[in-house]
Amino acid sequence: MQTNNYDKQAQALAVSPLDGRYGARLQHLSAYFSEFALMRSRVYTELIFLEALDETGLFPPLTAKEKERIAFFKENFALKDYFRIKEIEATIQHDVKSCEMFLREQLGLRQPNMIHFGLTSEDVNNLAYSFLMRDYLHKAQLPRLKEVLNVLLIMVREWRSVPFPARTHGQMASPTTAGKEMAVYLSRLLRLYRLLKDFRFSGKLNGATGNYSALNAAFPDYDWMAFSRRFLQKHGLEANLVTTQIEDHDTWASYLNWVKQINNIILDLDRDVWLYLTLGYFILAADKKAVGSSTMPHKVNPINFENSEGNMQVSIALINGLVDKLGNSRLQRDLSDSTVTRNIGVALAHSELALQETLRGLKKLAVNEPYCLHELEAHPELLAEPIQTILRREGVDDPYALLKEVTRGQHITLKDLHGLIDQLDIRPEVKTELKNLRVSEYIGDAVRICDAVITRAEKEIG
């Protein structure tokens, strides 16, 4: 993305790396998490409430021209409008009331008291934030996650049968395939992808202490609880009808916790890929123009996975703080949640940046197949597991102890294993079966597991 000179200057002077170093890569998030976006969403909330209020028939109906002006500002809220609201706020020191006064100026309604009728500021704020997070989820976050899923899906397809060394406790363990290793992460992420696709934020629209008191005082014969439910459901939110002055933010916390789970899965992937690169099982395509070290020309660093790891850790730490804070407030409400809520975008932006970095890294990743095969062939002791299991089938007394004695902590060859097999009192065809075992072929149902995950992923993400 190209930036003008002003943007470059702003990025150079920014306090946060999200707006500075990474500003060009995260600029699209300003549509959801900037102060302008919040004000636009507040205005939108006021306007759709005004439309819903008109439908009740409790006020003289809006004229065609009034409806046109409402529709215009729903779609065309601009920076000049934002700055006008900020001018008003500079005088009255209240952001939501400033939105109301702005709309009184711009709409010129015959019944201006319909604007913000019976509402408290938190009716507008909780909905404005939920609309922004919902839009971010569906327009930015899920598409980015789908991008990661598609890259992993390609890897699972291409590497489904490529033999790959496995490690448990850092030690050589029963082999797997490179595709199966990636299938694990694909499967884990698919679960969260499905949950987020179906996720619905909640909202409240019930006045100063959650009792619809002002609305009922003005129109006691109208069912404001039913109105609230209809309004929230119409606009894609779950109706939270039992609240204090503020919406409890429990669904925000649920959403953020699911994002944290995604972050932790990606963090796990980053670290495993980093270790596999260190072990030589994966290799990275080198960018000929890039430099891996200021002094060591040979280096190809796994910087994308390291950058992702760092940003995921920041995102997780922020989400933990947000979840701990947003679920509680003194009595009906205190203002401490206001400044904290503004940092939701910061937490999600670090997660977005991390996903971008992981994608960059994955697209440069390849399996070092010759080295993986060499590594597997160099460890014939890995066949101790299938040998002792087959001997169990044959009724041999404590074959685990027998194999442990000759393999644990020792360097043995395939010839040594075959010599042991020759000494066993078992049927000749079983000896042949055991001698035909090969480490690189001892991958169990890894290919079928990959195929199952591939089928599931194709169904989920198309």
* Residues written for the chain: 462
> Alpha-carbon distance 6 to 12, whole Å?
10
Phi, psi of 110 (to 5 degrees): -70, -30
Q: Which two tokens stand for residue 202?
A: 């909640």
Whether 130 is a known active-site residue: answer no
CB atoms within 10 A of CB 317: 13
- 210 neighbors 172 (Cβ within 8 angstroms): no
> Alpha-carbon distance 48 to 227, whole Å?
13
Q: Which two tokens stand for residue 130?
A: 């939920």
Task: Indicate which residue of 293, 336, 411, 418 is catalytic.
Answer: 293
Whether 374 is a known active-site residue: answer no
> Alpha-carbon distance 324 to 327, whole Å?
6
Q: Which two tokens stand for residue 112?
A: 């201006």
Q: Which residues of 329-353 are buried (b: 16+ CB within 10 A; e: fewer)?
A: beeebeeebeebbebbbbbbbbbbb
Strand positions, DSSP E, 105-236: 163-168, 171-177, 202-203
Q: Which two tokens stand for residue 118?
A: 């019976």
How far from the centroid of its chain's Cα atoms is residue 294's Cα?
A: 34
> Alpha-carbon distance 149 to 266, whole Å?
11
Q: What pairs with residue 176 in β-bridges?
A: 164
Phi, psi of 38 (to 5 degrees): -65, -45
> Alpha-carbon distance 351 to 291, whole Å?
26
Angle made by CA atoms 415, 420, 426, in degrees to the nearest 5? 125
Pairing of strands 238-239, 202-203: parallel
> Alpha-carbon distance 140 to 348, whole Å?
11
> Alpha-carbon distance 83 to 102, whole Å?
10
> Alpha-carbon distance 19 to 35, whole Å?
13
Q: Which two tokens stand for residue 83?
A: 């700055």
With 0-12 / 13-18 / 19 or more C-beta atoms within 10 angstroms meaning exposed / middle / buried, residue 198 is exposed
> Alpha-carbon distance 102 to 93, whole Å?
14
Catalytic residues: 169, 293
